[in-house]
Amino acid sequence: MSFSEYETLLTSVGEDAERVATIAINRPDARNALNEQVRRDLTDALAVAEEDEEIRVVVLTGADDSNAFVAGADVTELRERDLLEQREASKRPRVYEIVDDLSVPVIARINGHALGGGCELAQACDVRIAVQGAKIGQPEINLGIIPGGGGTQRLARLVGEGQAMKLILSGELIDTSEAHDIGLVDEVYDEASLDDRVYELAGTMAEKSPVALELAKQAVKASSRMDLEAGLDYEAELFVQTFATEDKNEGIDAFFDGREPEFTGE
């Protein structure tokens, strides 16, 4: 499969790192606010990334001209919906679950403000790398609503209940340095260094066995969704499954031969 031409996205594969796809939300007039069209385009692009065997890592970001990662949901759409319409729009899987469930690793390149739904989209990614000076938070309470894209659940798992309560109940925004201090983002870089680090990490991941990447991602995510005993059993089962792959043999043979492995996903 290959990416389509999208009204609200810019896409590429392999331009910044081999086997790495970049999906950039490009709605500069609204600072990349998540409207229905963005969600449709993202859903399609993520489906392509899921099916394309050449793609081993996805970088999700905002187009640089938009001056934002995602500035939130489209407030105009929210204002126009009644309860029944929003209940329909909130049916899962939404774009947040699609990102979370993607079999390949997803890195959030937070190149600007990540607010509301944008913060939730970043939380659904596997790793978050942010630019210095950007603002991040859940300001929904200021509109008389609450986070509805997973923020009350994923945020508490990332930063703890107290920090999640503080951000969600106050609606305050924090900069990415503070977000790093509390564990909401994993790394912070200045604008000149952001891409070097994002694509260095993405490229390192993309060199690994795609089967091992998928199983490792599943195992780590299970750590916050299962109790310890169930998680250990789940990890053991996924570990055993790698022994049915040629990549396991290739990785070990390469180790003994003192060479770089060439993983095929088989």
Cite the active site residues. 120, 140
Helix, strand, coil percentages for the chain (3-state, nearest 5): 50, 15, 30
Residues 6+ apart with CB under 8 A from 213: 56, 57, 104, 105, 205
Residue 259 CB coordination number (10 Å): 9
Burial class (CB in 10 A: 0-12, 13-18, 19+), 181: middle
Strands of the chain (E only): list them: 9-13, 20-25, 57-62, 68-70, 106-110, 113-115, 127-131, 135-137, 173-175, 187-189
Q: How far does CA 142 lie from the centroid of its chain?
A: 25
68-70 vs 113-115, strand pairing mode: parallel
Helix axes 117-124, 151-159, angle to 10 degrees: 60
Residues 6+ apart with CB under 8 A from 231: 219, 222, 223
